[in-house]
Amino acid sequence: MDKLIYDKTGRLLFTKEMKSHRTLLIPNMLPLHGEIIANCLRLHGYKCEILTTSHAAIKEQGLRYVHNDTCYPALLVIGQFIDALKSGGYKREDTALLITQTGGGCRASNYIHLLRKALKKAGYDDIPVVSLNLSGLEGNPGFKMSLTLLRQFIYAIMYGDILLLLSNQSRPYEINRGDTDKLVQGWYGKLTEIFKKPKNLTFKRMRENFKIIVRDFERLPRSQERKVRVGIVGEIYVKYSPLGNNDLEAYLLKEGAEPVVPGLADFLIFKIDNRDADVNLYGGLWLKQRVARLLKNYFKKCQNAMVEAIEQSEFRAPSRFEKIKELAMKYLGEGNKMGEGWLLTGEMLELIHEGIPNIVCTQPFGCLPNHIVGKGMIRALKTDHPEANIVAIDYDPGATKINQENRVKLMLSNAALAVDS
């Protein structure tokens, strides 16, 4: 039994002793990226497991231990954690929880405090919660963000993005069902081996691997069938998480459409870009702005290498961050940065300009910023782009899956009519 150690504020710490035997449970926000990130943690001696549960009890646990006016993603993440602890599959003395924390508004900072409050209410306050952050918000003796781990995370995000973009363009057209998933799984193993050697953590090697990944996907037998492409945008959790959006990507595939999901790199560059913009808007240290620009430029360099690799293939490449920001700035200013901020509007514009006017805007209950820059911008976008076929879908504890799917089906019907005409 571990000795429980608390800091001056009463927060239970994740100690070095705990690292050797406690499994870190991770919510399934990013199904594809998450497995690569988890493998990075395992390479550094952490035991971890991504929670993939999606049954109704998760929502019920969230409603029981979190106020029902809390944002829907928070309710689901906390409900998934508590449901796992109550399942009997994890010994409390061998378990810890890991959650991201960025220091921004809404979920980026507050989930961890809501989670600890819920754990105490449920009788699990002896289970430590680890904050994965780069802002120095919370530290733990048993969890350290080393430079090597940080570099691995950055590359994991970029590799995750290219696998996401290419798999979504392959899966709807694959002739041999399951080929795409087998290729993705194979790259999970390859990337784990790549990350083991520090010499592989270079921009040059990553750029070469991008080209190899593209070639691997080009070799997959695919049909030339034409399908309706549907973009998925919105709050970051419900945009990516099958639990948050009732497996929206799978539903679109079943309906014969091609899901188009923007990568995670744009969101991270957006968050760093906000730090740069803050100094211009509100003042601040030039050094902070300088560091933000250096980090932003490196992420953009990595993204550009990925886009260039895809541009040289038969696949559709995403827009670069600069282009998305340029489109968004015609409608919103840099100060619109709470939640997904101007990026959400920019992603809808990116899709429209790429010839993908059919868009599902995922809106979680209790997320006012994203209702403003998401649903609130649809009228303006449709005025300038009459071809835009955008449907805003609300995801909350009271919304039914069948109602959500019916609204998506109506959007698909409108898309089919536009093609026929």
pLDDT tops 90 at residue 290:
yes
User: pLDDT at position 369, please?
Assistant: 82
pLDDT tens sequence across 146-205: 889 989 999 999 999 999 999 999 999 999 999 999 999 999 999 999 999 888 899 999
* 254 three-state secondary structure: helix
What percentage of the chain has pLDDT greater than the value 70?
A: 96
Residue 247, pLDDT score: 95
* Spatial separation of the C-alpha atoms in residues 327 and 249, rounded to whole Å: 26
CATH 3.40.50 boundaries in the chain: 16-144, 227-263+318-420
Residue 420 has pLDDT above 60, yes or no: no
In 146-240, the DSSP E strands lie at 229-234
Indicate if the pLDDT at residue 68 is higher than 70.
yes
Position 107 pLDDT exceeds 70:
no
Rounded percentage of the chain residues whose pLDDT exceeds 90: 77
Exposure string of 196-207, with b = 16+ CB inside 10 Å and e = fewer, is eeeebbeeeebb
| Residue 1: pLDDT band with limits 50, 70, 90 | confident
Q: What DSSP letter does each residue of 158-206 carry, written as one string? A: HHHHHHHHHHHHHGGGBSSTTHHHHHHHHHHHHHHHHHHSGGG-SHHHH
Q: Give the pLDDT confidence score for residue 421 in this predicted structure.
A: 53
**Mean pLDDT computed over every residue of the chain:** 92
Going by pLDDT thresholds of 50, 70 and 90, the confidence category of residue 37 is very high
φ, ψ at 229 (rounded to 5°): -95, 135
> Can you say whether the dihedral through the CA atoms of 97, 103, 108, 110 is positive or negative?
positive
Is residue 108 helix, strand or coil? helix
Contact 238, 72 (CB under 8 A): yes
At residue 93, the pLDDT reads 94
DSSP classification of residue 95: E
Average pLDDT over residues 341-352: 97
**CA 47 to chain CA mean position, Å:** 22
Confidence of residue 419 (pLDDT cuts 50, 70, 90): low
Candidates 3.30.1950, 1.10.3470, 2.20.28, 3.40.50; CATH matching 227-263+318-420: 3.40.50
274: pLDDT strictly greater than 80:
yes
> 405: Cβ–Cβ under 8 A, 6 or more apart, which residues?
246, 251
Confidence of residue 103 (pLDDT cuts 50, 70, 90): low
Per-residue pLDDT averaged across 17-39, rounded?
Answer: 93
**Overall average pLDDT of the 289-310 stretch:** 95
Both tokens of 86, joined, read: 């109550």
Start-to-end CA distance of the chain, whole Å, equals 69
Whether the Cβ atoms of residue 339 and residue 109 lie closer than 8 Å to each other: no
| Residue 365 clears pLDDT 80, i.e. is over it | no
pLDDT above 70 for 49:
yes
CATH topology of domain 16-144: Rossmann fold (3.40.50)
Residue 108, pLDDT above cutoff 60:
no
Give the Å distances, CA to CA, from 198 to 152, 187, 387: 9, 18, 48
Q: What is the pLDDT of residue 135?
A: 65
DSSP code of residue 375: G
* pLDDT score of 344 more than 80: yes
361 versus 417: the higher-pLDDT residue is: 361
